Structure 1
């Protein structure tokens, strides 16, 4: 299956991603205020302790290894015969979910503010819902087959 992409698709895709970013920002802001949780640093690892750091890096390394293995296996197969669970989009989705679940568990178990894990769970649910909506709707009809 080949998708033809017209030039305006990039503008629409960027618009959808910007809107998602703004909505996610306000969602996080409201949930943080509601749960009285401090803001995390942007693009930082925010490890709770050394155990969390080790588990997180183990997940990262395993996902990267799975991506290389998946690429080498799926390249040898026909496009329609590839393994969906070795595709990059699925492995990235799995990484986000696993990483955030581990973070939520560590926050629940070890964080000073016990509401931090609730914030992480709400944020994960919001992101998963968005990603599922995007894939189920072909990015809201932006990608036409």
Structure 2
């Protein structure tokens, strides 16, 4: 899947915008199809209950500590003349955090939400994000980039 290899910046940007529109439209469409509750996109307090908020913040703080720790390890490795290791890149922690927080949300919606269809939408949304992320990184954004692996 290298159809963007050698493509102009405008073409790559257009494909990126199309993918973002698909991702952003997926949740509202699935919520309507499955009859789930509306989700406040830019709301700070999108928690099912206090327990969900507590666990979500534990994951977030652990993520911040992990990013700082992995960044320090990478810097010390570089200073000693070592090579960068992909499994120590700080964004790996972010890619681990997103499925964790969404899985926590799905569990809390399944266990405590009044509308039982909410967790299905969350799991479908998580599945779409995981699939798109894997495709983008496996193909180097369809041949537009070389990630060096």
Q: Same fold (TM over 0.5)?
A: yes
Matching residue within 107, 110, 118 for 2:112: 110
RMSD of aligned residue pairs (Cα, Å): 2.1
1:37 aligns with 2:39: no
**Which one has more relative contact order, counting CA pairs under 8 Å at least 6 apart?**
2
Per the alignment, in what secondary structure is the counterpart of residue 100 of structure 2?
helix
For the Cα contact (< 8 Å) 1:37–1:113, is it kept in 2?
Answer: yes
Contact 1:12 1:142 survives alignment (8 Å): no
Mind listing any 5+ residue stretches in structure 2 that lack a counterpart? 1-5
- 1:59 alignment partner, SS class: helix
Unaligned runs of 5+ in 1: 1-5
Contact 2:27–2:125 at 8 Å: present in 1 too? yes
Q: CA deviation at 1:88?
A: 2.3
1:40-66, Cα deviation, whole Å (9 max, x unpaired): 111334101111001000100000100
Structure 1 residue aligned with 2:144 = 142
Number of matched pairs: 138
Structure 1 segment 22-101 matched on structure 2, within 5 A? 22-44=21-43, 45-78=45-78, 81-101=83-103
Question: C-alpha displacement at 1:140, in angstroms?
Answer: 1.2
